[in-house]
Amino acid sequence: MQKDHHVMIEDISDRFGVREMLSDNSKNHTFLASFLYYFGVLTQAGENSEGDVILKVPNLVIQSLYVERVKKMLLPEPGDRDDGKFAAKQVYQKGRIQSLCDFVENRYFTVFKNRDYRWANELTLKTAFLTLLYNDILYVMDSEPEIDRKYADLTMIIRPDKRHFEIFDVLIEFKFVTLKDSGITGEQAKQLPKDELYNIPKIKKALEKGEKQVVLYGKELDDKYGNLRLKKFVVTALGFERVCFKKIG
């Protein structure tokens, strides 16, 4: 679902009988990608220079299904999903992101295990927030939209026919600081008071860098769309332990 990311396979399988579905072949990359293609959740996007078939998410409807599926995987309890949805609404209805950051820190991050750290990065953090904030009824959602040859992490621009509602456009830049880079353990990170968390040099640097980017992207968005009710944030995670933020402007 990320910008310009695709699935590539040598060829599209054309056998989906019961025998094939129950065989070991059904677990391989080509079979699964082909299955998603035939069910309309991937579509062909040409071929690469090596002759492989390129598949991508076809449209926003299917993208929303993927987002919803990821949310259900990470938050299997309906009550947790409802709490996350309420916290997300505080961002675009009230311009407040504290509740959403607390939710990700206290609910989402408890799902991740130590072995997940090898894949931990800004994309992990962004995915957690995106699954909660995703709303294609009110917004044009864009992850890594190009703004004057640069890329913002997440923008939520109110749809033209929804601008009469009392909601905000949203721009969020995400940063991720590893425990190793910060020089503290996970247990120490959990115990840190808020003021000490924000004073960690790597956290301060990430927030300052994010602020510069958000100010620049915000100006470009205003120039592009005009008349935005834009709320701008930088969100920084310290490992899978803590989340802090800065509201810009």
How much is the pLDDT for 55? Answer: 84
In a domain, 1, yes or no: no
Q: What is the pLDDT of residue 109?
A: 84
Q: Are residues 138 and 51 in the same domain?
A: no
Task: Evaluate if residue 25 carries a pLDDT over 80.
Answer: no
218 in a structural domain: yes
Question: Mutual orientation of helices 78-89 and 60-74 as an angle, nearest 10°?
Answer: 120
Q: Is 45 inside a domain boundary?
A: yes
Kindly state whether residue 83 falls inside one of the protein's structural domains.
yes
* pLDDT at position 18: 61
Q: What's the CA gap between 98 and 218, in Å, rounded?
A: 20
Please enumerate in sequence order all residues whose Cβ is within 8 A of that of 141, keeping only pairs 6 or more positions apart, or say none: 60, 130, 133, 134, 135, 154, 155, 156
pLDDT bin (cut points 50, 70, 90) of residue 93 is very high
Please state, as a whole number, how many other Cβ atoms lie within 10 Å of the Cβ of residue 27: 8
Higher-confidence residue of 97 and 239: namely 97
**Are 29 and 118 found together in one domain?**
no
Q: Are 87 and 75 in contact (CB under 8 A)?
A: no
- Give the three-class secondary structure for 154: strand
- Looking at the structure, tell me whether residues 128 and 163 fall in a common domain: yes
Q: Which domain range does residue 17 map to?
A: 7-56
Instruction: Say how far apart CA 214 and CA 211 lie, in whole Å.
Output: 5
Residue 148 has pLDDT above 60, yes or no: no
Report residue 232's pLDDT band, with 50, 70 and 90 as the boundaries. very high
Q: What is the pLDDT of residue 22?
A: 63
Round the average pLDDT of the chain to a whole number and report it: 84
Q: Which residue has the higher pLDDT, 65 or 157?
A: 157
Angle subtended at Cα 96 by Cα 93 and Cα 101, rounded to the nearest 5 degrees:
120
Contacts of 7 (CB under 8 A, 6+ apart): 33, 42, 54, 55, 56
Q: Which residue has the higher pLDDT, 96 or 37?
A: 96
Q: pLDDT digits over 177-194, tens only? A: 998 899 998 889 999 999
Tell me the pLDDT tens digit for each residue of 60-71: 666 667 777 777
On whether both 204 and 180 belong to a single domain, the answer is yes
170 and 211, same domain (yes or no): yes
pLDDT over threshold 70, residue 79: yes
